[in-house]
Amino acid sequence: MVSIKLVLEYDGTDFSGWQYQKNGRSVQEELERAIHKILQCDIRVAGGGRTDAGVHAHGQVASFQSEQEIDIILFKKGINAVLPEDIVLRDVQVMPQEFHARYSAKARKYRYIIHKEPTALQRKYCWQFYQDLDIIILKECSKMIIGEHEFQSFCKSGSTVKDYVCNVSTAVWNQDGHVLTFTIISNRFLYGMVRALVGTMVNAGRGYQTIENFREILESKSRANAGMAAPAHGLVLEEIVY
Amino acid sequence: MVSIKLVLEYDGTDFSGWQYQKNGRSVQEELERAIHKILQCDIRVAGGGRTDAGVHAHGQVASFQSEQEIDIILFKKGINAVLPEDIVLRDVQVMPQEFHARYSAKARKYRYIIHKEPTALQRKYCWQFYQDLDIIILKECSKMIIGEHEFQSFCKSGSTVKDYVCNVSTAVWNQDGHVLTFTIISNRFLYGMVRALVGTMVNAGRGYQTIENFREILESKSRANAGMAAPAHGLVLEEIVY
């Protein structure tokens, strides 16, 4: 028995998210269907990071246990031939049986992209936001979330988790022309966390709130205080680190 | 009377091309409709570079003559508010009356993008080509087209032009990981020229033909000798130089 690690890229535009659900097209379901076609057996895959409806992935990781010997080159070609064009299998690796896409993950890296000018070519992969945004304020806010914090304020309600502690190792805003990119790496992420963080930082960056307000929101541990979630299509799951 | 210069970005995916046509959605038609809504008058715009069905633009230029005084900031906002989301107006400038998007253009710059690995996020903006391609051969071919040549071999039939001479100032392939980019700048382009050039260079790069064959095709001045046109969705009109 081995574990098979899959690295996936997908365009979240036409998906209800990563996870299987009754009504709606999920990445997991499409992937499992493709594996069924190639291996001729029912497989349930585990996902390394759950992405919501509309969220993209460049480096999502999935895994499944296999007793079959798998020729990874043929497997990759076969899966890519049967997957719909908005999902691609970027890499396949045979791992020790213990490997699990979710439980073995040490950290996840997400990227959120904002375009300050209208764009047609990138419109499905960014938040087009035309109000003035103060990059200095965004940077100040992002510094506050680095380290170990309880992130209740940025966790979508309806989520059932034992605790809200995340250890954020990187949280940084960069500007390149009219493109702003927020990169965040954390050992774990709560439900809706990156989009709530971005929405709330943007409220400070546009002057609706102060940097001090941002700190209060973080410390208040109440989702009601945070800003609106930033739109899903600006978010990409970049990488999962093991 | 002044001339208004518009710089446009569009996603060619759902267009039958730049130019107005009876059956099919054109960028020109959508733009003219938007201008009509904002200025309340019928305008015919001239395009700086004609893009075929499926070809994208980052820096297409259009122009029209206007007797109205135009507040370019309001005009830009208004046009972007009424344009469909796959076209954006990036910039507006008031120019002397003589300015004409097509006739005043000194050069056009196109980019053709090939991905050597499958991609979901970029699939609409590149040619996914998985066979081995020798970048050295591609570079050698591209060097041959620099300078003044008659490009009949790379001109789609049905085109009526007086002569086929183009003066190519830049023609270069670059590789960044599994992404190959061909950049070409020329005073003019014939119908279907970039895609025919790319298709034919790729035939050499994949080993179907030699560099010497490529030279013969260029010198033969017959379209029948060149390779298949590369797919439209890998091509972007980057910029028009005045």
| Digit-coded pLDDT (tens) for A127-147 | 999 999 999 999 999 999 999
Q: From the list B9, B89, B117, which residue is nearest A121 (CB)?
A: B9
* Mean pLDDT over the full length of chain A: 95
Q: For the complex shown, is ipTM > 0.85? A: yes
For residue B129, count other CB atoms closer than 10 A to its CB: 18
CA-based nearest residue in chain A for residue B89? A118
DSSP A26: -
Q: From the list A11, A117, A123, which residue is nearest B121 (CB)?
A: A11
Per-residue pLDDT at B65: 95
Per-residue pLDDT at A225: 83
Per-residue pLDDT at A109: 98
Q: Which residue has the higher pLDDT, B58 or B157?
A: B58
Which of A121, A122, A126, A237 to probe the B interface (max B CBs under 10 A)? Answer: A121
Shortest Cα distance, chain A CAs vs residue B88, angstroms: 6
* Mean pLDDT over the full length of chain B: 95
Q: Quick check: A58 contacting B, CB < 8 Å?
A: yes
Shortest Cα distance, chain A CAs vs residue B123, angstroms: 8
| Digit-coded pLDDT (tens) for A165-182 | 999 999 999 999 999 999
The β-bridge partners of B2 are B66
Which of A31, A83, A88, A130 to probe the B interface (max B CBs under 10 A)? Answer: A88
For the cut 90, the answer to whether the pLDDT of residue B161 exceeds it is no
Q: Quick check: B121 contacting A, CB < 8 Å?
A: yes
CA dihedral B179, B184, B190, B191 (to 10 degrees): 20
Q: Which residue has the higher pLDDT, A240 or A159?
A: A240
Instruction: From chain A, pick out residues whose CB is under 8 angstroms from the CB of B88.
Output: 118-120
The one catalytic residue among A11, A14, A52, A132: A52
The residues, ordered by sequence, that sit 6+ positions from B212 with a Cβ below 8 Å of its Cβ are none
Per-residue pLDDT at A156: 85
For residue A83, the surrounding DSSP H or E stretch is none
A52 is catalytic: yes
3-class SS shares of chain B: helix, strand, coil, % to 5: 30, 30, 40
Per-residue pLDDT at A96: 96
Residue A151: pLDDT band with limits 50, 70, 90: very high
Cβ–Cβ below 8 Å for A120 and B80: no
For residue A105, count other CB atoms closer than 10 A to its CB: 16
- pTM of the model as a whole: 0.92
Cβ–Cβ below 8 Å for B123 and A89: no
Residues within 8 A of B (CB atoms), A 87-106 only? 87-90
Q: Which amino acid is at B221?
A: K
Residue B225: pLDDT band with limits 50, 70, 90: confident
For the cut 80, the answer to whether the pLDDT of residue B39 exceeds it is yes
Per-residue pLDDT at B48: 96
Q: Which residue has the higher pLDDT, B15 or B68?
A: B15
| Digit-coded pLDDT (tens) for A178-209 | 999 999 999 999 999 999 999 999 999 999 99
| Digit-coded pLDDT (tens) for A17-66 | 999 988 899 999 999 999 999 999 999 999 999 899 999 999 999 999 99
What angle (nearest 5°) sits at the alpha carbon of residue B203, between those of residues B197 and B204? 95
Going by C-alpha positions, the residue among A238, A200, A240, A239 that lies closest to residue A111 is: A238
Q: DSSP characters for B91-122?
A: EEEEE-TT--TTTT--EEEEEEEEESS--STT
Per-residue pLDDT at B47: 97
Cβ–Cβ below 8 Å for A90 and B118: yes
Per-residue pLDDT at B61: 98
Residues within 8 A of A (CB atoms), B 193-232 only? none
Q: DSSP characters for A99-121?
A: --TTTT--EEEEEEEEESS--ST
Enumerate the H helices of B105-241 as residue ranges.
Answer: 135-144, 193-205, 211-220
